[in-house]
Amino acid sequence: MPQLSWFTEAYALSGSSVGFRTERLLHAEKTRFQNIEIYQTTDWGNLMVIDGCIMLTGRDNFLYHEMMSHPALFTHARAKRVVIIGGGDCGTLREVLRHDEVESATQVEIDERVTRLAEKHFPELCEANSDPRAELLFDDGIKYMADCAPGSVDVVIVDSTDPVGPAEGLFNAAFYASCFRALRQGGILVQQSESPIAHLHLIKSMRGEMSKAGFGALRTLTFPQPCYPTGWWSCTMARKGADLTEFRERGAAAKTFPTRYYNVEIHRAALAQPEFMRGLD
């Protein structure tokens, strides 16, 4: 019988913790950038932990990956070129490439080991890695966006860790200005924006920096995420030269691929703001 234990992430800011019962440690290593651990849990599939912080589980990652991709792609009129910054587990890439109109999706992950471990321990997330439209680059996402040709991208998805370590530079006006310049008119930037309960100050700061970079339309969408602090998470969309209140509802209703969380009603509901989040700007 396996030796049962618990992996627990204590989160001081909210005075709370999240824990999963584990059967065994499958892998642990220190890369050039961070410490990565993979656990087998009793009820939540495999668990990836980076620098002591829970990144994803096999059971609930669909919530995050679907909300990081489908609202933006169904809001854009026709996103042909998508860039994903981070996203090394490849779940967001998989969701992006479910859209037939996407002609290319470039994923720029700084730590190749995240992707290689995902391919081994979360193979279902990596189903699209061999898609001819997919390009996997292992490089600095900040530099990549700074070097992008102006007006060459339709959607930028920043699927990053918390704003510390390698991801710290992804949450400021300089980075957002690079994204703004790279996006075509009507293009959309979407970034994970942490917990509305625990990180409202960060969401306000992000939105302020996005506005400074030139984005005129902002919208923060919330969704459940059991494995993250407080169990409630968000992504923030910013658009160049158009609003974010309308989306292709008929296209979303007639989508030709399966989802487990996202649908028209979820998208419409996610556009609504809780009372305490009104007037974020």
| CATH number, domain 61-277, options 1.25.40.10, 3.20.20.70, 3.40.50.150, 3.90.1150.10 | 3.40.50.150
Instruction: Domain 5-57: give its CATH superfamily.
Output: Spermidine synthase, tetramerisation domain (2.30.140.10)
Task: Name the region of 202 (left: φ>0; alpha: ψ -120 to 50; beta: rest).
Answer: alpha
- Just list the catalytic residues: 159
Indicate the domain borders of the chain: 5-57, 61-277
* Of 60-69, 113-122, 239-248, the least confident: 239-248
pLDDT of residue 217: 95
Span 13-48, pLDDT tens digits: 889 999 999 999 999 999 999 999 999 999 999 999
pLDDT of residue 63: 98
Contacts for 281 with CB less than 8 Å, ≥ 6 apart: 207, 208, 211, 218
